[in-house]
Amino acid sequence: MHMNKTEDKPSQTAQFAAAHRAYHLMHDRPAILEDDAAGWLLGPPLSAILHSAPLRWLFWRPLIAKVRPISAFVVVRSRYAEDCLGQAIGSGCRQYAILGAGLDSWALRHAESGVTVFELDQPATQQWKAARISSRLGAAPAHLVLIPIDFEREAIADALPVAALGRQYDRTAQALVSWLGTICYLTRPAIAKTFASLAAVCATGSRAVFDYFQPKAAMSAADLQLFETLDAGGARRGEPMQTLLEAGEMAEILAAAGWRVVEDLSASDIRRRYLANRTDGLDIPGFARLCCAKISPA
């Protein structure tokens, strides 16, 4: 079964994720991530709500109160991916593949990086994003390649080689892959197949960074309530959660697909790395994990 019943519409979870990043930059100090493109990329109605104090008070405050830890995690997972990308660039990587990119704005904030960015997402979400970029910038930057895909039905190895604007993904060169906020919305076979197909197009030295959620049985009562609120919202928008995984299950999927875990951070690990010494109490859900994997040597 395919996950997104509204696949002909732009993903609303992607729009909310961008709204969380925009709100974070407006509201939280110190900022964990400076996504200063999220606010305009977002578009109406969420951009109008975020940029008007009365509308923020009326609509955004009650919403954020219910899902604050999720909102924080949306920001932290992007920061993690961008930290890993910074390290990869330092070791010579010039290709960044963003799976389930949504309104990720790294490419728009790093026009001079020399990195070609391949964004893979469902066509409706990409078309909507492309229209937002055109209305603001006139055209998409040349180093950004949008590749439509449905992870439930298509193999990444078939989709990724598509060249656009003279930019071609190079299977022989190191790449960094991020896959944020998407795995939980896919079926387990689609997750396993995508990792396997990804391994086929990633040269030695390539890494994949992604987040996933642990099963309900391991959640505290407060986390379970938070999860149910999040899942109910996603389901109402046609994007229900499909797959929750224990760390051991994730490692098995990765190993079978040709990947080896570099690190798999629990919520406590993530808090120590990104939330220590804050005075605003910003926190993430206990069920969230961030993982980095690399291609296993043959």
Ligand X SMILES: C[S@@+](CC[C@H](N)C(=O)[O-])C[C@H]1O[C@@H](n2cnc3c(N)ncnc32)[C@H](O)[C@@H]1O
What is the rounded CA–CA span in Å between residue 50 and residue 42? 10
What is the rounded CA–CA span in Å between residue 174 and residue 195? 16
Q: Which of 35, 82, 119, 121 binds ligand X (CB under 6 A)?
A: 121
Residue 233 found at the interface with ligand X (CB under 6 A): no
Q: Which of 71, 105, 174, 182 binds ligand X (CB under 6 A)?
A: 182
Which H/E stretch holds residue 16?
helix 12-27
Considering CB under 6 A, how many residues would be counted as binding ligand X? 24
Residue 284 found at the interface with ligand X (CB under 6 A): no
CB 130 within 8 A of CB 164: no
- DSSP bridge pairs for 144: 117
Of the pair 229, 296, the CB lying nearest ligand X is at 229
Binding part of the chain for ligand X, among 50-58, 88-96, 150-158, 199-207 by CB under 6 A, reads 150-158
DSSP string of 203-225, one letter each residue: -TT-EEEEEEE--GGG--HHHHH
Residue 160 found at the interface with ligand X (CB under 6 A): no
Of the pair 82, 121, the CB lying nearest ligand X is at 121
* Least distance between ligand X and beta carbon 177 (Å): 12
Binding mask 123-142 for ligand X (x = CB under 6 A): --x-----------------
> In what order do the strands lie in the sheet containing 176-179?
144-148, 116-121, 95-99, 176-179, 207-213, 288-295, 259-265
Q: What share of the chain is helix, strand, coil (3-state, %, to 5)?
A: 50, 15, 40
Angle at 83 between CA 77 and CA 87, to 5 degrees: 145
Q: Which of 11, 95, 116, 243 binds ligand X (CB under 6 A)?
A: 11
Q: Which of 73, 96, 106, 151 binds ligand X (CB under 6 A)?
A: 151
Positions in 60-99 near ligand X (CB under 6 A): 78
Which H/E stretch holds residue 19?
helix 12-27
Q: Which of 4, 105, 174, 243 binds ligand X (CB under 6 A)?
A: 4
User: Around Cβ 228, how many Cβ atoms within 10 Å?
Assistant: 12
Residue 105 found at the interface with ligand X (CB under 6 A): no
Of the pair 156, 282, the CB lying nearest ligand X is at 156
**CB-nearest residue to ligand X:** 102
Residue 35 found at the interface with ligand X (CB under 6 A): no
Residue 100 found at the interface with ligand X (CB under 6 A): yes
Please name the residue ranges forming H helices in 91-175. Answer: 106-109, 123-137, 156-159
Name the residues that contact ligand X, by CB under 6 A: 3-4, 11, 13-14, 17, 78, 100-104, 121-122, 125, 149-152, 180-182, 185-186
